[in-house]
Amino acid sequence: MMKGSQQQWPLLVPPPRTPGKEELPIDIDSSIPVSSMSKPYSDSQIEMSGDFVRNPSSHSIQSKSSSTHSIKGVSFREGHDLNPVSYGSRGASLGSNPVRYGSRGASSGGFTSSYKEINDEDARLVYVNDPGRTNQQRFKFAGNSIRTSKYSILTFLPRNLFEQFHRIAYIYFLVIAILNQLPQLAVFGREASILPLAMVLFVTAVKDAYEDYRRHRSDRIENNRLASVLVNGEYEDKKWKDICVGEVIKVSGNQTLPCDMVLLSTSDATGVAYVQTTNLDGESNLKTRYAKQETQMRTPVVGNIGGLLIKCEKPNRNIYGFQANMEIDGKRISLGPSNIILRGCELKNTDWVVGVAVYAGKETKAMLNNAGAPSKRSRLEKRMNKEIIILSIFLVALCTVVSICHGAWLRRHREELYLMQFYRKYDYSEPEVKKYEYYGWGMEIFFVFLMSVIVFQVMIPISLYISVELVRIGQAYFMIRDDRMFDKSTNSRFQCRALNINEDLGQIKYVFSDKTGTLTENKMEFQCASVGGVDYDNGKDISTEDWQTGYSVQVDGMVLRPKMTVKLDQDLLNLSKMEHTNEGKHVYDFLVALAACNTIVPLTVETSDPAIKLIEYQGESPDEQALAYAAASYGFMLVERSSGHIVIDIQGKRQRFNVLGLHEFDSDRKRMSVIVGCPDQTVKVFVKGADTTMFKVIDKSLNLNMVNATESHLHSYSSKGLRTLVIGMRELSTSEFEQWQSSYESASTALMGRAKLLRKVANNVENNLKLLGASGIEDKLQQGVPEAIESLRTAGIKVWVLTGDKQETAISIGYSSKLLTSKMTQIVINNNSKDSCRKNLDDALQLYKKLSNVSHSNDGGHGAGTNQLALIIDGTSLVYILETELEEKLFELASKCTAVLCCRVAPLQKAGIVALIKNRTDDMTLAIGDGANDVSMIQKADVGIGISGQEGRQAVMASDFSMVIYTSLPTIVVGILDKDLGRGTLLQYPQLYGAGQRGESYNGKLFWVTILDTMWQSVAAFFIPLAAYWDSTVGVSALGDLWILAVVILVNIHLAMDVIRWYTITHIAIWGSILATFICVMIIDALPFLPGYWAFFMIAKTKLFWVCLLGIVVAGMVPRFVVKVFVQHCKPNDIHIAREAEKFGNLRETNAETEMNPISDLPRSTATATT
Amino acid sequence: MIPDGSSQASNKISKKPTYSRFTQQDLPAWKPILTPALVIATLVCLAIIFIPIGLFSLSASKNVVEVVDRYDDACIPSPNQKVGYIKDPATNKTCIRSITIPKKMRKPIYVYYQLDNFYQNHRRYVKSRSDRQLWNPKAESRTTQCDPEGQTGDGKPIVPCGLVAWSLFNDTYMLSKNDAALPINKKDIAWRSDRIHKFGENIYPKNFQNGTLIGGGKLDESIPMNQQEDLMVWMRTAALPTFRKLYGKIETDLEANEKITVTIQNNYNTYSFHGKKKLVVSTATWIGGKNDFIGRMYMAVGGTSLVFAIIFSLLYVFKPRPLGNPSYLSWNKNNTI
């Protein structure tokens, strides 16, 4: 089959890279971290290919369950028993040859993904172009219509109510309302008690209904979009919702894909298609997808398309994994993630593709990923829950006491009960005597219990939940509207995805950060190069006028210019133009290698000036992009890539290079190579890769001096924090080429062990290379990162950086981002066995003890500065440590370290590291990252922050809060608006953050102090009127008015004493709520049909009333005021002092040296003792 | 639903939040700090306000002249048969008591009856009334809240219904000084608002106290509700279990040491629940009746404030802490001590 296709191409052009590439990402041994890892992780990390690890940006937040699912979803089943199922005449023996695909250990090396077995139980069979047969199976496949709406007209009421009553507060209110409906208990009016709850439910329901209506509408629009579907041999327009699995769909360029499809063929002869997955994972670069050669050949003839059978895994959420087999002409070929294009993606740079729908509608990966984020509970909420339980115990105790007393009372008066005015056992108003409102001993006591529950229910501040929620909404509003939380370059605002963890942001103790895209910009910038042993490191930024005259080429009257330019070294620039000198030749080869040895796709972008076009390089590796831009800036501009060849514009001349073969990057070789047929009819292999592996295959005998010089340059580059790549080349003789070609061909068509064979081929050709040079690429730090990290450290937050980079790079980034400082003692753990890990950890702990002893005996004052530890640990060691007993030691060590750097870690290990901390301390953790590889970590941490690269799918955020009005307004207003300190002060003193970590503002002690305080206040509010009005003529309503007003004023003054910043709104809320209570009382007492008619006006005429009110408020508040003043004077906390300093302006006159002492982890007593 | 990638570069509206002092939380704010001056000033102010008010209240309470005479025990012939005596409709319940005026009392002098251990604020009791029925003749059958005192045995509505009205206090007092009757003015003892807006003029008591179980007083069925002032006073249910209700006013001054004879019709049964009955003759001041509590409480609060003002002054003088000095910040303390 391959041979057949080969004839269509010119000589020396065997089918390009497709065969190798499509297998690699799912090949076991190719996944970078996996090969070096053992049991705990290996079988769950199979699909974490280079592709996955390198994902620069994503904000698709999957739910916790989805992430586990996505990772487990591709793991191979071990020892599954297959009951072969025949698939019609052709595939009779398909499943009968189960391969035990052990994923642990090296024995799996002999197999390739082409023989991955999919358990029949889990498989779905798709008959291409035969939707009828496809859908007639055991499983009913979902249609392509989607439904993001939650309700229909019929289900709305029950479902909505069901969902609303998921909130504990509502259930509580409901129970109280139901209790009020019992006639025996009716403390308040029956109707009145149900009203607030009914109103809240109603408002929420209306809001939900409106939102759902909008979802219905957007669903309808989405479902009615048109796609071109093959029906009876012709493409017809069909609505999206009518597409079924098994149908063949044709999609044109720039269109959105209607469902998940396996590519059958594309407009490109080699079956390449490019898709943009912005809507799916937020990444904006183009992803390359391939149609299988076997189907690519057939599809142009429409009738030929049927008869294919695809057997693929069940729908799952993993957007980076796909496993399937395709049966074609009795042969089985395997399909991987690179053969499937997903719903929601956009087809780019490709005229058309034809594919077969395999997952539709709600089973598409996009829809399966459309679930909400896992809900997290804030620490405050957990504490609140605990305290509410304490209060509930109180409540039950109180009610029990009341019912016991009631029982005693009933017993004491049992003789009189039959006569008691309102407790008559018998009703004498009736002719015959019968029981009246007396339910017997037990029931009476029980009713009294329930009644006291109603009466004392206010003790449980259940509405606090709603208040807190409203406060968070307000806070989120301010966070979103903060113009300092706006990123100009991406035009994106802060997004608050989870409302319930706002307050945790103030209590973080550990920050886990991804490196690429978080600390660094993920914008690789070519910095310098060493070519032929000469360091070209004097790059100058092209100034603006230079940029105008910078390198550009003329094509058809158009000026083409690279979109990004790099710093140009003048010497190198001059040399690049002198092709005929010896040095010039070397530079020429180097730059050609930069331009050719990659998988970059050049795209032209229109500019405002119609005569100028920009050329943009799209590719999955930012390093390659940087190199291609560098080559372009030096005049070697890659302008075209098509099947089998690339066009490089070299100093104004368009030169065609035939790409004869490509060996993908893999983690074993750590290099990639292309075999290129050059315009001068020579065949060259260009290789680029990591220095460690490249120097092994370089022929050092050629020019030892140059090799040594290059090595020293590399050392200096990497110490500057640059990412280095070594570039080599070899010219292939005809015989060598033919030998390579035949082995390459047989390897890429092999059915067994294709990847391994290809790697062998690559290894054979990548040797005896001539060293061309090395490049240094800067992984640019994000703006402000060093300052931010320094602030975090002064604030007492431990910063852990988790990166997939190699150790040296990670350390250099650590230095440039000020995570590591020269003062720190570095502990490096880099091992290959458990025993050595254990030994290293023990040694490190010993070292720590020694160091801390030294610091204690010397000078504790500055000890914190000199004895900071930094732990650097790599992924391989973590394999032996995580989930073993060594975890404990690592935790002990890591918690002593100021900075921790984990390099070469796999995505799942990141989550493991977060769990290491989270499971062992109560300290709050925060994870920040930008890529899909960070999702698990983000979800694991208490607070997760995703950096959005670009805006993707406008995921319908299920906003499931409701506006509840009867919670106390002033508290909410103060909760939203109040701030303790200005941002200037906080930035100046990052240490102030420590107050949150230590939980100074709210803790258990404070809870009990507050309880005592409020107890005193209620004593004042109750007993002062009681004593003042004892044996007076006061009525129930009048005294009730006094009590309610006293309570409202007390509560508001209490709040007012804690307000730090009084805005106009705060004044309005606090004084307004007191005023509103007065008005309400007046209105109620002006209704003649209520018993309390005119009571307020009568009592307000007496001076005693006002004297009482004033007395209650002052007597209630004096202890609080006195204690507050006393604490602030004698034991001021940091925030008090900073507030005073802010107000009285002493901030800037401070001694700079004392300011920056970080919070010491040493126990305070020791620290003071040693000074 | 699908954002358009290609048009991103051009004409995209900036999402930068618009600046406003509100959204950026830059609104002007008053940031009070508890400075020593403020603290001491507050406490001294409290003392200055509270101590005089306390003194005034004490003196006002002292000026109230109050005579309290408990008669429930004294008006029973044999202490062993209290309940039987009071429940017997046939006995004569007249009881003569004599009280001495301790100090000169200026008019108006109020006559109250005081009940102890009478929980007029009980939940079931308070609700057992129909306010609509008292005002609107058409609503006289709205008695459901009043059960079991809503209807007579044969289903006729009771006006006024409910336990509150049913338990109407019905002792009567006649005062005489030196054998001359001392008139008690029982006009306008109820609130004006009750007379005008709460108790209707076309409503007459009906079927009241006709049942098998008689509670308290009966009502004259020929007098409209808006003139039944004793009922109005009674139906302003008291907040506390020891309460007074206005019986009437004496419109003349009483001199010190004058003896007043009280003729009591001891009808009301407080004996079955060990309640006390007292007759109170009292003058009134702005503080109400005789009650030292408010004065004492104000003196205590004012005094406490003063004491703390002194304590804090001493504290600020002898152990001062400069406000906002960064050397007091926790992370600086370790090094600078």
Using one digit for the tens of pLDDT, what is the confidence trace for A723-740?
A: 788 999 988 888 888 988
Q: Which of A254, A1062, A1154 sits opposite B335 (nearest CB)?
A: A1154
What DSSP designation does A1149 have?
G
Whole-number average pLDDT of chain A: 74
Residues 818-857 of A with CB under 8 A from B: none
A432 and B CB contact within 8 Å: no
pLDDT tens-place string over residues A738-759: 988 888 888 876 666 677 888 8
Q: Is the pLDDT of residue A270 over 80?
A: no
| Angle subtended at Cα A831 by Cα A825 and Cα A833, rounded to the nearest 5 degrees | 140
Q: Is the pLDDT of residue A676 over 50?
A: yes
Neighbour tally for B320: CB within 10 Å? 10
What DSSP designation does B197 have?
I
State the best of A1137, A1153, A1164 to mutate against chain B, taking most chain B CBs within 10 Å.
A1137
Q: Do A1129 and B3 touch (CB under 8 A)?
A: no
- Structural contact between residues A631 and A576, judged by C-beta atoms closer than 8 angstroms: no
Q: At what angle do helices A190-223 and A168-181 cross, to 10 degrees?
A: 140
Query: Which positions in chain B touch A1026 (Cβ < 8 Å)?
Result: 240
Q: Is the pLDDT of residue B260 over 80?
A: yes
Among B274, B295, B299, which residue's Cα sits nearest to residue B285?
A: B295
**CA torsion sign, A1067 to A1071 to A1075 to A1081?**
positive
Q: Which residues contact A789 (CB under 8 A, 6 or more apart)?
A: A519, A799, A817, A818, A819
Instruction: Count Cα neighbours of B235 within 13 Å in the Cβ-side half-sphere.
Output: 30
Neighbour tally for A5: CB within 10 Å? 16
- Structural contact between residues B227 and B190, judged by C-beta atoms closer than 8 angstroms: no
What DSSP designation does A321 have?
-
A450 and B CB contact within 8 Å: no
Q: Is A186 exposed, middle or buried, given 0-12, 13-18 or 19+ CB atoms closer than 10 A? A: middle
- Ordered strands of the A612-618 beta sheet: A553-555, A558-562, A612-618, A601-606
Q: Which of A1061, A1104, A1147 sits opposite B31 (nearest CB)?
A: A1061
Distance CA A626, CA A778 (A): 9
CA-based nearest distance A1064→chain B, Å:
8
Distance CA A527, CA A525 (A): 6
Distance CA A324, CA A311 (A): 5
A1137 and B CB contact within 8 Å: yes
pLDDT tens-place string over residues A428-482: 555 555 666 677 788 888 988 988 888 887 777 767 777 777 788 788 888 888 8
pTM of the model: 0.71
CA-based nearest distance B93→chain A, Å:
23
Query: Which positions in chain A touch B321 (Cβ < 8 Å)?
Result: 1129-1130, 1132
Q: Which of B23, B34, B244 sits opposite A1031 (nearest CB)?
A: B244
Q: Do A1093 and B129 touch (CB under 8 A)?
A: no
Read out DSSP for A391-447? HHHHHHHHHHHHHHHHHHHHHHTTTTTTT-TT--SB-TTSSS--B-S--HHHHHHHH
Q: Do A429 and B272 touch (CB under 8 A)?
A: no
Query: Which positions in chain B touch A222 (Cβ < 8 Å)?
Result: 1
Q: Do A1027 and B297 touch (CB under 8 A)?
A: yes
Q: Which amino acid is at B142?
A: R
Q: At what angle do helices A807-816 and A704-719 cross, to 10 degrees?
A: 50
Query: Which positions in chain B touch A346 (Cβ < 8 Å)?
Result: 2, 5
pLDDT tens-place string over residues A124-138: 788 877 777 777 665
For B115, name the nearest residue in chain A, comparing CA atoms only. A1031
Among A795, A792, A775, A341, which residue's Cα sits nearest to residue A537?
A: A775
Query: Which positions in chain A touch B324 (Cβ < 8 Å)?
Result: 1137-1144, 1146-1147
φ and ψ of B3, to 5 deg: -70, 145
pLDDT tens-place string over residues B219-242: 999 999 999 999 999 999 999 999
φ and ψ of A96, to 5 deg: -85, 0
Q: Do B153 and A429 touch (CB under 8 A)?
A: yes
Per the structure block, which two tokens stand in for B152?
């007579």
Q: Assign A205 to helix, strand or coil.
A: helix
Q: Do A1060 and B31 touch (CB under 8 A)?
A: yes
H/E stretch holding B267: none
Q: Which of A51, A208, A514, A535 is catalytic?
A: A514
Q: Which of B197, B244, B312 sits opposite A1125 (nearest CB)?
A: B312
pLDDT tens-place string over residues A548-559: 445 666 666 667
CA-based nearest distance B125→chain A, Å:
7
- Ordered strands of the A340-341 beta sheet: A234-239, A226-231, A248-252, A352-359, A260-266, A340-341
pLDDT tens-place string over residues A344-368: 888 877 888 888 888 888 888 777 7
Helical spans, DSSP H, in A182-335: 190-223, 278-281, 293-298
Instruction: Count Cα neighbours of A524 within 13 Å in the Cβ-side half-sphere.
Output: 25
The answer to whether A623 is a known catalytic residue is no
Residues 246-265 of A with CB under 8 A from B: 254, 256
Distance CA B318, CA B328 (A): 18
Q: Which residues contact A359 (CB under 8 A, 6 or more apart)?
A: A142, A245, A259, A260, A315, A343, A365
Q: Which residues pair with B110 in a beta bridge?
A: B249, B282
Q: At what angle do helices A834-857 and A886-896 cross, to 10 degrees?
A: 30
Place of tokens 């149900």: A194
A12 and B CB contact within 8 Å: no
Distance CA A324, CA A339 (A): 10
pLDDT tens-place string over residues A195-227: 777 877 787 788 778 878 887 888 888 888 888
Per the structure block, which two tokens stand in for A1079?
């008005």
CA-based nearest distance A973→chain B, Å:
13
Q: Kindly state the average pLDDT of the residues B305-326.
A: 90
- pLDDT of res. B312: 95
Query: Which positions in chain B touch A954 (Cβ < 8 Å)?
Result: 1, 3
- pLDDT of res. A671: 85
C-alpha dihedral (A1137, A1138, A1141, A1145), degrees to nearest 10: 180
State the pLDDT confidence band at A493, using cuts at 50, 70 and 90: confident
Distances (CA, A) of B31 to A906, A1050, A1065, A1132, A1154: 50, 21, 14, 17, 27
Write the secondary structure of B8-43 as one string of H (helix), E (strand) and C (coil): HCCCCCCCCCCCCCCCCCCCCCECCCCCHHHHHHHH
Query: Which positions in chain B touch A953 (Cβ < 8 Å)?
Result: 1-3
Among A158, A324, A424, which residue's Cα sits nearest to residue B215?
A: A424
Residues 50-69 of A with CB under 8 A from B: none
Among A1088, A937, A1111, which residue's Cα sits nearest to residue A1024?
A: A1111
A480 and B CB contact within 8 Å: yes
- pLDDT of res. A188: 57
Distance CA A597, CA A571 (A): 23
Query: Which positions in chain B touch A990 (Cβ < 8 Å)?
Result: none
Among A227, A240, A347, which residue's Cα sits nearest to residue A291?
A: A347
Per DSSP bridges, beta strands A553-555 and A558-562 are antiparallel
Q: Is the pLDDT of residue A18 over 80?
A: no
Q: Is A1016 exposed, middle or buried, given 0-12, 13-18 or 19+ CB atoms closer than 10 A? A: middle
Distance CA A615, CA A606 (A): 9
Q: Which residues contact A839 (CB under 8 A, 6 or more apart)?
A: none
H/E stretch holding A1161: none
State the pLDDT confidence band at A950, using cuts at 50, 70 and 90: very low
Q: Do B131 and A1028 touch (CB under 8 A)?
A: no
Strand extents, DSSP E, A260-364: 260-266, 272-276, 286-290, 309-312, 324-328, 331-335, 340-341, 346-348, 352-359
State the pLDDT confidence band at A335, using cuts at 50, 70 and 90: confident
Among A961, A800, A949, A940, which residue's Cα sits nearest to residue A62?
A: A940
A606 and B CB contact within 8 Å: no
- Structural contact between residues A873 and A844, judged by C-beta atoms closer than 8 angstroms: no
**CA torsion sign, A378 to A383 to A389 to A391?**
negative
Place of tokens 């390093």: A623
Stronger pLDDT, A1041 or B290, i.e. the higher one:
A1041
Distance CA A204, CA B330 (A): 47
Q: Which residues contact A1121 (CB under 8 A, 6 or more apart)?
A: A1057, B42
Q: Is the pLDDT of residue A20 over 90?
A: no
Q: Is the pLDDT of residue A106 over 60?
A: no
CA-based nearest distance B336→chain A, Å:
8
For A1116, name the nearest residue in chain B, comparing CA atoms only. B301
Q: Do A1155 and B326 touch (CB under 8 A)?
A: yes
Place of tokens 């429930």: B72
A1108 and B CB contact within 8 Å: yes
CA-based nearest distance A943→chain B, Å:
24
Per the structure block, which two tokens stand in for A541?
């930024």
Residues 326-365 of A with CB under 8 A from B: 344, 346
**CA torsion sign, B233 to B234 to B238 to B242?**
positive
pLDDT tens-place string over residues B267-283: 998 988 889 999 999 99
Q: Do A429 and B151 touch (CB under 8 A)?
A: yes
Distances (CA, A) of A247 to A103, A125, A242, A351, A358: 34, 13, 10, 20, 8
Distance CA A939, CA A945 (A): 9
Q: Which of A278, A1027, A1040 sits opposite B293 (nearest CB)?
A: A1027
B221-226 long-range contacts (CB < 8 A, ≥24 apart) are B224/B200, B225/B134, B225/B159, B225/B160, B225/B199, B225/B200, B225/B201, B226/B195, B226/B196, B226/B199, B226/B200, B226/B201
Among A273, A322, A267, A264, which residue's Cα sits nearest to residue A293?
A: A264
